[in-house]
Amino acid sequence: MRCEKMMVKKRYLQVNEELFREHPEFLDPAAPSLEGKLAVVASVMPGLVAAAAEKAIAEWGRPAEDITHLVFATSSSAQLPHIDLRIASLLGLSTTVQRTVIGFHGCSGSSAALRVAKDIAENNRSARVLVACADMLSVMDGYLVPNVVAHRYGIIGHAIFGDGAGAVVVGSRPQEPVERPIFEMVSASQATLPGSELAVAAELTNFGMEYRLEFGELAAGVGDNIERCLIDALSPLGIGSVGWNNLFWAVHPGGPKVMDNFTAALRLEPGKLAPSRQVFSEYGNMVGPTLIFVLDEVIRRRQQDHEEGSCEWGFMVGFGPGFTIDVMALHACSGEKMMVKKRYLQVNEELFSVHPEFLDPAAPSLQGKLAVVAGAMPGLVAAAAEKAIADWGRPAGDITHLVFATSSSAQLPHIDLRIAALLGLSTTVQRTVIGFHACSGSSAALRVAKYIAENNRSARVLVACADMWSVMDSYVVPNVDHRYGIIGHAFIGDGAGAVVVGSRPQEPVERPIFEMVSASQATVPGSERAVAVELTNCGLEYRLEFGDVAAEVGGNIERCLLDALSPLGIGSVGWNNLFWVVHPGGPRIMDTFTAALKLQPEKLSASRRVLREYGNMTGPTLIFVLDEAIRRRQLDHEEGSCEWGLMVGLGPGFTIDVMALRACSGKSTPTPRIKSSL
């Protein structure tokens, strides 16, 4: 068995010539060696684990004495007191730390330990659980000098096994800003395949750990059962059909054949198990701690903006003796508070070289900023509108009305005139400018377009919305006193979106996607200053009290939605039976929105993805979310099965705009139609 076939490039092993000189019995297949091997593990492993744990605690950000629980997993040691006591001492943990040893789970050591840690943390709000896992199979191996004929398992082990230790910190209710969770462990499950007890097996003998590895049987067990296990794991979460390629994956590699069968069974894209393959290549199969290494590699790749960084949900999968499959559903936390990975901004070095006053907080700059917007925004909007018109399917000359919304411009004539000229719209097109609605710009414009279309049967309304707050921001160079500016710099971006609205579609050219059934608006009394903006000599100065806004959303959203549905004669409705197009605002707003309506976690996936990929573009953001919702429906995501949905805009006031949407069947309908494209 060649090592190249096993796909392992390098490993880290505790065995060496010095060890064999001290313990020659390790090389004698007839000499009992268990006692000596256990002694070596007891001596070396605590330091190995402590080094990994120190790194985990440092990244966690709080002192070691704040650790309340230690869960330690290994299949390479058997002693009393166990190694966990020595680890706690080396780390300087409190003498009251509660210690638990997870023993002899093999490759599922990490997943078992994390499952226990999850339960501890959820049952003890202030608990901080250090999970550590280590194995040293190179020392404990009962086949240190395997016979090619008799010990084929030993030959396999020598090709793939390595030594290692990994650690993570688990808790609930993070203390911001010190604690910054990366993943939420949403659910944990385990399944044992009947009749597979000997596919992966090991026993402690006089010579160490002797194991049985039927990789063909193991790989077949994975291929035949993994999808059912994952679906069963999703079932309690109330999540229906899911595209496996829309998730990130932290999977114990096992071996090459196991990963290949896993990939084939779920029809995964080749790169989905890249973290698992990377760890296996660089470290081999370290048995228990391997899964923590894979999790660390997943995090590293997300931080470096690899493809899997765009996935909000994922699975951690461990394989162990039994044959056992451990599954844990993971949800990516909002990371650096704002959850924004990238944005598109109009400001750059060239702009600042032309307008140095933009960088001087004391210099009046409004006039220059408005001039920049007037120069750049028409082209930005025209590009979005051209795509919307192309998707609509009729010529631009058939557009009868233009409704344009922005909070980033103030001039006469307005930018809408230039947009109409760039698009080649008719000189008789009726233009309406919706001004200074900020984040509710799109919802306000769509509401007006709905009324126009319902009152003019042949009307075709181009709705366009754009904002360029990176230019108009009066806090281009915020200091610590400008906390609203700091917040804005963290998540606000620039963008433009467009859709076409009309009634009585001309088939087969016009193919409506959603009917806009009703529109309503509610202003929360006494909330006028939760979101506020004013035009100053230096640009737009804004006040963003996210705590206030999130509280207003949580306290009022269900009542507003029920009031919006009431005129439709719709009684009790299950919020999870709807699709959702919601302006994301910020992570805390979405979390509060989800909690208030008891939504399944994926219901706001479109909103979270847009915030992550584009930031909060204020006005046009809701059109981007609408486009993402349509894209997901076309890709047959879960939300594609919902006939009814709600589009929700949040704006200054504090104002909540609600529009009831109904998915079109493709048949002719007299109600307004909306087609979104960016």
Pairing of strands 183-192, 324-332: antiparallel
> How big is the CA angle at 59 (ends 54 and 64), to the nearest 5 degrees?
45
Q: What whole-number distance in Å separates Cα of residue 345 and Cα of residue 360?
A: 19
Contact (Cβ atoms closer than 8 angstroms) between residue 239 and residue 312? no
Altogether, the residues listed in the chain come to a count of 678
Among the listed residues 325, 323, 250, the one whose alpha carbon sits nearest the alpha carbon of residue 280: 250
Active-site residue (options: 107, 133, 311, 538) = 107
Lookup result for tokens 């433009």: 496
Q: What whole-number distance in Å separates Cα of residue 558 and Cα of residue 578?
A: 14
- Compute CA 170 distance to the chain's CA centroid, rounded to the nearest angstrom: 18
Active site annotation includes 229? no
Contact (Cβ atoms closer than 8 angstroms) between residue 658 and residue 597? no
3-state SS class at 270? helix
Contacts of 526 (CB under 8 A, 6+ apart): none
User: Three-state SS string across 207-267, please?
Assistant: CEEEEEECHHHHHHHHHHHHHHHHHHHHHHHCCCCCCHHHCEEEECCCCHHHHHHHHHHHC
Task: Say how many Å lie between the first and final Cα of the chain, rounded.
Answer: 54
**Residues forming a β-bridge with 201:** 212
* CA-derived radius of gyration, the chain: 30
**Residues forming a β-bridge with 388:** none
Q: What whole-number distance in Å separates Cα of residue 386 and Cα of residue 424?
A: 10
Residue positions annotated with a catalytic role:
107
